[in-house]
Amino acid sequence: MERHFVRLLVVIIGCCAVDVSAQSTVTVFVPATGSVTFQSPNHPNNYYASALVTYRIISAGNEAIELNALVFNTETNYDNIQFTETLPDGTTQSLPAAGSVYSGTVGPIRLRSLSGNVTAIFRTDESGQLTGFKIACAVVPCGSVYEVPATGAPVAIQSPNNYTLLANNGSCDYTFTAPDGARVELSQSPPDESWNCEDDVLLLSEMVNGSTVVTRKPFCEKNRPNGPSRVQSQSNSVTVVFKSNAAVNRAQFQILVHITQPCRTSLQVPAAGVVRFQSPHFPLAYFHDEVCTYTLQAPAGAIIQFDAEAFSLEGDSCAYDRVNFAERINGSVVAIGNPFCGTVGPYQLRSSTNIVDVTFQTDSSVALTGFKIAARVSACPRGKSLCPGTSGSSAVCIASTQYNDGVANCPNSSDERLPEECGNPLVEPNIGQNAGRAAVPHSWPWQVALVLAETGEQVCGGSILSDKWILTAGHCCQHSSAAAATKNFKVRVGAHDLRSHTEESAKTIDLINLILHPQYDHLSAAPQYDFCLLQTSERLVFNSETIAPVCLDSGAEDFVGQTCWATGWGSAPARRHVVQPGLQRLQLDENPINTEANNFLHQIPLIINSQSACSATWASYITPQMICATTDRKSSTCNNDSGGPLVCMSQSGTFKVVGISSRVASGCDNPDHPLVFARTSAAAEWIAQTLFNHSSA
């Protein structure tokens, strides 16, 4: 067959076909209405060998273009046509975006561009010429219905006519339909953070359970301050409606649309090893109005343990976005713990059965990065924990009350890392004196002051547990004046008068470790597990008179109704009415009065409340990880007392720290509101594990 080497430019506008020669560049203008076709050289006869034809397909108003093959017949794998487009920013990408070369008998069908500038290149080899193709081009019209493919590149749309032909106060809609059971996901590409949606807007409309549901301004910045530029339908068909106002048109938008399957996952938890599951699109932001279910099943007779490896959800009260764990016991659905939200997910959360349903639910506003959670078969039953340093066939499980109970229940006594001699002050405290009065000097020798390294300002209290470890509150380690880093803090031990520089027993010591409890959430209004362990740079020398450890409560004794004592250098409540900036509390005081804190260590008697009495006042703020105490006098723990100990005398006559000062009511002196402490027995396992892990330091 004769070869043609003539470069020919042919332009046809309207409804007629564009014909070409073997080596040519052709410009095809797509009208605002109607369509135009272009075809292979010599069509409907056989095309030429070694042809190379470029088609430049341009719409009049830079509107998106739809291409449909009316006829397509080329030599498979050897003769083909490929499409690209030039976007408004000047970049070039394959069309579709995932890239595709059309060859054989299947040509483009409903292939739609983002822009009005498409290039098609047709190449043939030296043999096997066939009849070629004829392809129709048209502007993508308003009211188009898109069938979203289950796989491959997403469908793409853009603002109608690049805003140039859509009249003010106009409207244009596109409908996207996915297969039954699937959902439609729409994403703004690229995200337009500047679009405030006060002028021209997008609406999403769909039928859900027989009712029309409209999502207004889904991509607006104010609707997603921390969330994605994506939205997901609740059904398999959604209509995108673009509306313009009467003002000047803005820059264009682009939306990519693809299918996402319902958020349901079933996972097998292996007898050995771990399986992980995560929120949709993790580590990117999850969707609004999402409900995802994860069903995890372990081998028969096993139970499952869950540990969050990453966790970031909106809110701290779990009223917005949350993760719930549940299982079926005797036919009833039973929750496993409380819902999780904020920045703290499950930690050693254990089921009672081998099948657990996890539900992730979000609301219609802020979306964060979500979660990644590990699930494994637990070596220990619910209510018991693994001895530090044991695992696999050597695993030993003990109850939480067996930690620091004076009996070596674990190999290598890993559950007994605290000194046996504890809670015995050489200087007897005056536990009968009036509340709020200065304590007998050095009668509470485990009391320490947490101070800022740079200024020496006392910000919190703490309790000596051993010659290297001090227990304080988690929120103290998140103090607003210093990040949670050891270099920002020091501890002062053996002190009674913080103002004195001549107190021989007092010493200020550096820290080498600061460890927050893994379930402490500093963003929560009522954080659980408000604990922080401090490791000193040098060993403390116990002399019983000025420096000595306190015993850690294991939870084996019941102190409800008993008089116990809280100590600290905090502000006198009658003079100071707010907590230290950055420290959490249950109720805000809008009229703070700043005064100086006490210089001498003070003590107050408190009566331990039952959990029900505490919950009656504080309602949902109170969890089993907290303990409450009240006083009938005008005294209270207050500013700078945070992290200090609440100690009770045990049956053996030693003092045990049962709580860590955590939060107070507004004003610090409200006798109608119990003081809230972090319950130390809830941290016994974590403390033992931490001390074991750092035993070589």
User: Tens digits of per-residue pLDDT, 128-170?
Assistant: 899 999 999 998 777 677 777 666 556 666 555 443 334 455 5
Q: Are 374 and 307 in contact (CB under 8 A)?
A: yes
One-letter-per-residue 3-state SS of 24-86:
EEEEEEECCCCEEEEECCCCCCCCCCCCEEEEEEEECCCCCEEEEEEEEECCCCCCEEEEEEE
| Residue matched to tokens 């719930």 | 324
Higher pLDDT pick, 201 / 453? 453
Closest among 675, 492, 471 to 599, alpha carbons compared: 492
Closest among 358, 360, 348, 335 to 305, alpha carbons compared: 348
- pLDDT at residue 231, as a whole number: 72
Cα within 13 Å of Cα(680), Cβ side: 32
- DSSP assignments along 557-623, one per residue: S--TT-EEEEEE-PPPTTT--SPPTT---SS--SS----PPPSB-EEEEEEEPPHHHHHHHHGGG--
Give strand pairing partners of 599. none
DSSP 15: S
| Tokens, residue 22 | 């073997």
Q: What contacts 628, CB < 8 A, 6 or more positions away?
A: 608, 609, 611, 613, 614, 617, 618, 622, 674, 675, 676, 677
Higher pLDDT pick, 110 / 244? 110
Helical residues (DSSP H) of 390-549, grouped into ranges: 474-477
Q: What contacts 39, CB < 8 A, 6 or more positions away?
A: 17, 18, 19, 20, 132, 133, 134, 135
- pLDDT at residue 72, as a whole number: 96
- What is each CA distance from 555 to 403, 405, 474, 524, in whole angstroms? 9, 10, 20, 25
Report the topology of domain 155-260.
Answer: Jelly Rolls (2.60.120)
Q: Are 460 and 479 in contact (CB under 8 A)?
A: yes
The domain at 7-141 falls in which architecture? Answer: Sandwich (2.60)
Counted residue by residue, the chain has a size of 697
pLDDT at 466 over 80: yes
pLDDT at 581 over 50: no
Percent of the chain with pLDDT over 90: 33
Q: What contacts 483, CB < 8 A, 6 or more positions away?
A: none
Whole-angstrom distance, CA of residue 87 vs CA of residue 286: 28
With b for 16 or more beta-carbon neighbours within 10 A and e for fewer, the 579-590 pattern comes to bbeebbbbeebe
**Average of pLDDT values for 543-564?**
89
User: Do the first three CATH levels of 447-536 and 551-681 match, i.e. the same topology?
Assistant: yes
Note the pLDDT tens digit of each residue in 295-351.
999 999 999 999 999 999 987 678 889 999 999 998 889 999 888 988 889 988 899
Whole-angstrom distance, CA of residue 125 vs CA of residue 175: 41
Higher pLDDT pick, 543 / 514? 514
- pLDDT at residue 666, as a whole number: 47
Q: Map residue 150 onto helix, strand or coil.
A: coil
- pLDDT at residue 589, as a whole number: 26
Q: Dihedrals φ, ψ of 14, to 5°?
A: 115, -135
Question: C-alpha 183: how far from its chain's center?
Answer: 23
- pLDDT at residue 269, as a whole number: 95
Closest among 524, 510, 520, 418 to 477, alpha carbons compared: 520
- pLDDT at residue 588, as a whole number: 25
- pLDDT at residue 266, as a whole number: 92
CATH superfamily, domain at 551-681: Trypsin-like serine proteases (2.40.10.10)
Whole-angstrom distance, CA of residue 220 vs CA of residue 195: 7
| Residue matched to tokens 């990117």 | 284
Q: Dihedrals φ, ψ of 244, to 5°?
A: -105, 155
- What is each CA distance from 404 to 388, 532, 558, 646, in whole angstroms? 13, 18, 16, 18
- pLDDT at residue 21, as a whole number: 66
Note the pLDDT tens digit of each residue in 610-653.
888 888 877 767 888 889 888 765 555 665 688 999 999 999 99
- pLDDT at residue 391, as a whole number: 76
**Average of pLDDT values for 445-455?**
91
Whole-angstrom distance, CA of residue 348 vs CA of residue 343: 16
- 3-state DSSP helix/strand/coil % of the chain, to nearest 5: 5, 35, 55
- Domain ranges in the chain are 7-141, 155-260, 264-378, 384-416, 447-536, 551-681
**Average of pLDDT values for 43-62?**
90
What is the side-by-side order of every strand in the sheet holding 254-260? 155-158, 254-260, 183-188, 230-232
pLDDT at 12 over 60: no
Closest among 144, 123, 118 to 29, alpha carbons compared: 118
The sign of the torsion formed by the CA atoms of 344, 350, 353, 355 equals: positive
Give strand pairing partners of 548. none
Note the pLDDT tens digit of each residue in 509-531.
999 989 988 888 766 666 788 99
686: left (phi over 0), alpha (psi -120 to 50) or beta: alpha
Please give the class, per CATH, of domain 264-378.
Answer: mainly beta
- 123-127, 160-164, 242-246, 465-469: least confident range: 160-164
DSSP 641: -
Q: Map residue 486 onto helix, strand or coil.
A: helix
Q: What contacts 168, CB < 8 A, 6 or more positions away?
A: 244, 245, 246, 247, 249
Closest among 98, 90, 20, 104 to 62, alpha carbons compared: 90
Closest among 437, 380, 382 to 410, alpha carbons compared: 380
Report the topology of domain 447-536.
Answer: Thrombin, subunit H (2.40.10)
**What is this structure's pTM?**
0.60
| Residue matched to tokens 């913080």 | 498
pLDDT at 578 over 60: no
508: left (phi over 0), alpha (psi -120 to 50) or beta: beta
Q: Dihedrals φ, ψ of 505, to 5°?
A: -80, -15
> Which of the four pLDDT bands, split at 50, 70 and 90, describes residue 447?
very high
The answer, yes or no, to whether the previous bond of 44 is cis (omega within 30 of 0) is: yes
Neighbours of 268 (CB within 10 A): 12
Cα within 13 Å of Cα(48), Cβ side: 19
- pLDDT at residue 481, as a whole number: 52
Round the average pLDDT of the chain to a whole number and report it: 79
Amino acid at 117: N
Note the pLDDT tens digit of each residue in 481-500.
555 678 889 999 999 988 88
**Average of pLDDT values for 23-45?**
91
| Tokens, residue 133 | 């193709």
Whole-angstrom distance, CA of residue 567 vs CA of residue 438: 9
| Residue matched to tokens 């341009």 | 58
Whole-angstrom distance, CA of residue 697 vs CA of residue 390: 20
Whole-angstrom distance, CA of residue 578 vs CA of residue 571: 9
